[in-house]
Amino acid sequence: MMKADMYSSWAIVDLSAIENNIRYVLKRTKVKVMAIVKANAYGHGAVPVAQAALNAGASWCGVARVSEALELRQAGLTCPILLLGFTPTDRYEEMIANNVSLTVWKPEQVQLLSAAAEQVGSPAKIHLKVDTGMSRLGIQSKDALAFAKTIADYPHINFEGVFTHFARADESNPTPTNSQENLFLDLLASFDRLNIRPPLVHAFNSAASLTRMSEHFNMVRFGIAMYGLHPSSDCQLPAAFRPALTWKTVLSHVKTLPPGRGVSYGHIYITKKDERIGTVPVGYADGFRRLQGNEVLVRGKRVPVIGRVCMDQIMVQLDNVPEAKAGDEVVLIGKQGEDEITAEQVAATWGTINYEVTCAIGVRVPRLYI
């Protein structure tokens, strides 16, 4: 059965691409890999992607919300999971009971986690987040040593890891990342002098994993590159990487309109002659942004989206594809024929980044796995 007979639009996720990309970074870095599957695996589907990454050799999964950690556990995944962001205090016991490691950056968190762990009867596993320049979460690097020295005073706490996050690793200028890395290395040296370095130390994200080497860290956090998406225009993936996601839909209707006809809300597009117009069942409710300048692929050719993007539908101008007919496949992201529309190209049209493009693909779009 054709996909168009079942769905209005659909995303195909190639799990072998996920596995390929994980194997590449394992071979390059020769350390543990944490597969970052937050935000529904950047829109690709958390559980299937996590399973594929683990099958390929990843050791950990990283998430950003309690619900994301629970989704993995409820699916039967037993791998170590790190909740990278904020955990509401009322969920501490639940996370400890589900063997989820938590990020901390202030003493009050450790105190509350110690009490929660006593209630649960299992230790709370923690990773200390150090702010070396991202200026987001994390204890300031100058205060981290004093804090870390107190962690051993709390019962039921397993000081499992310490990490930082680079703000500019995907840029061509290495100086800002060098500065952050050096701050972190100085802190680790202080930990070593006091014999309080935890078992896991991680700093490299996708961009750093592909452009830097370090003998000081024993795990990398692999996010955007795992999906075959470029970290930035300055940090392009090696040719061996493969994008995992293709987003498709279908021509639901094709018609010829006379000159002077308005198309879609507000009639910002007016036909100039007899024009073949196609209707496509995808819209901003599905994550296809309400901006001008979009293109899609029909029969291997780029065609412009015309008029305003609606909640559930778009219109395309088909004059350069005279053979197009209702039922034809339409590609929003991916290859068709000899052409390809990448997530990076869509991001450029939308004035954003590829991360947001795939994360925004909505729940109405089923993910199909190959």
Q: How far apart are CA 285 and CA 290, in angstroms?
A: 10
Q: How far apart are CA 348 and CA 234, in angstroms?
A: 14
Angle of helix 66-74 relative to helix 46-55, nearest 10 degrees, comes to 70
255 is catalytic: no
Which of 30, 142, 149, 265 is flagged as catalytic?
A: 265
- Work out the angle at residue 253's Cα, subtended by the Cα atoms of residues 249 and 259, and round it to the nearest 5 degrees: 125
363 C-beta neighbours (distance < 10 Å), count:
10
Asked if residue 102 lies in contact with residue 87, where contact means CB atoms within 8 angstroms, the answer is yes
Q: How far apart are CA 318 and CA 302, in angstroms?
A: 9
Whose CA is closest to 58, among 85, 38, 37?
37
Which of 27, 32, 38, 125 is flagged as catalytic?
A: 38
Question: What dihedral do alpha carbons 152, 158, 159, 163 form, nearest 10°?
Answer: -160
- Work out the angle at residue 345's Cα, subtended by the Cα atoms of residues 343 and 347, and round it to the nearest 5 degrees: 70
325 is catalytic: no
197 C-beta neighbours (distance < 10 Å), count:
18
Reported as half-sphere exposure (CB side, CA atoms, 13 A), residue 169 has a value of 25
Query: What residues are labeled active site?
Result: 38, 265
